[in-house]
Amino acid sequence: MKRWVSYMLLTAVLAFSIFPMHTEASPVNGAFHFGFKKSQNGQLPSIDQEGFKSILEHNDAIFLGDTKQKELYLTFDNGYENGYTPAILDVLRDKKVPAAFFVTGHYLKDQPELVKRMAAEGHIVGNHSWSHPDMTRVSNEKLKTELEQVKSEVNRLTGQQATFLRPPRGIFNNRTLAESHAQGYINVFWSLAYKDWDVNVQRGADYARQQVLKQLHPGAVILLHSVSKDNTQALGSIIDEARKQGYAFKSLNELKTKSY
C-alpha cells in the first residue's frame, strides 16, 4: 500500500511535467520553463525567442550537440517505473544504442536492479533530483541535498557519479543553474520532445514514431519518458529510421560542442 501511494503521488507530480513550446518567467523567482521552437523538416530548433539563452550559455547547460553532425543523444526521464524500462533496455542493447536515464529518489529506491542494469549495459544514470521539486523554489542548501542524495545512491548502486542533471519539469533560473554547475553538475535540457508522459493519453506506436521522426535534426538531444507505452513500442523503429537517414546515436559523454 505504501508503495502504491508513493507511486500515485509521484504520478500526480509528473502529470504537470509539460514541455511548453514557450517560456513563462515568474515575477517571484525569475523562473523559466524550458521551451523551444520545434524543428521542422530537418531545420534546427531555436531558443532565441525564449529569453534564457544567455543563462544557459553562461552556466554551460546542454540543449543541443554539434549541429553540423548528424548525431543524436537519446535521453529518458525515469520518475517512476511503469513496467516498460526493461523492454526499452532490451531494444537499446539489441540496437547497440547508448542512452541517459535521469532518475529520481523514488526510482532509485523502487527499482535498484533496473538502475544497476542501466549502468551495466553502458548507459548513463543521470540526476533528476531526489523528490522532483521546482528547484527555483528551494534554498541552495535544499537543492544541494536533493542532488547529493541521488548522486550518492547512484554511486552506491552503480559506481557512476551522476553529474548530468535534468532539472525537474524543466524549470530553472540563473541561481539554480549556477548553483548546480558550481557543484559540478551539467544541466541537460533537450531539443526534441513531445507530450508523451501522460499514461492515460497514449495514441499508439505509430503516433510516437511520427512525433519523434518529424523533429529529427543534427545534434538533437531527445527527451522521452519511459512510462510511455507508445515510446516503448516505437523505439526500435525510431532508431532504425533515424539510422536510415544517416544519423548516429551518441552518448552524452561524447557531447562536447553546444550550439544555440
Identify the pLDDT of residue 29: 66
Q: What is the DSSP string of 92-128?
A: HHHHT---EEEE-HHHHHH-HHHHHHHHHTT-EEEE-
User: Which residue ranges form the domains of the chain, and what is each CATH number?
Assistant: 2-254 (3.20.20.370)
Is the model's pTM score more than 0.75?
yes
Longest dimension (CA), the chain: 51
Identify the pLDDT of residue 25: 41
CA 229/CA 127 separation, integer angstroms: 23
Identify the pLDDT of residue 245: 97
Residues of the chain with pLDDT under 50: 1-28
Beta-strand relationship, 186-187 and 164-165: parallel
Identify the pLDDT of residue 96: 98
- Considering 33, 106, 217, 225, which one is annotated as catalytic? 225
Three-state secondary-structure class, residue 32: strand
- Considering 77, 134, 196, 230, which one is annotated as catalytic? 77
Identify the pLDDT of residue 259: 55
CA 131/CA 111 separation, integer angstroms: 15
To the query of whether residue 77 is one of the catalytic residues in this protein, the response is yes
To the query of whether residue 225 is one of the catalytic residues in this protein, the response is yes
Tell the residue number behind the cell numbers 547508448, with chain if given. 98
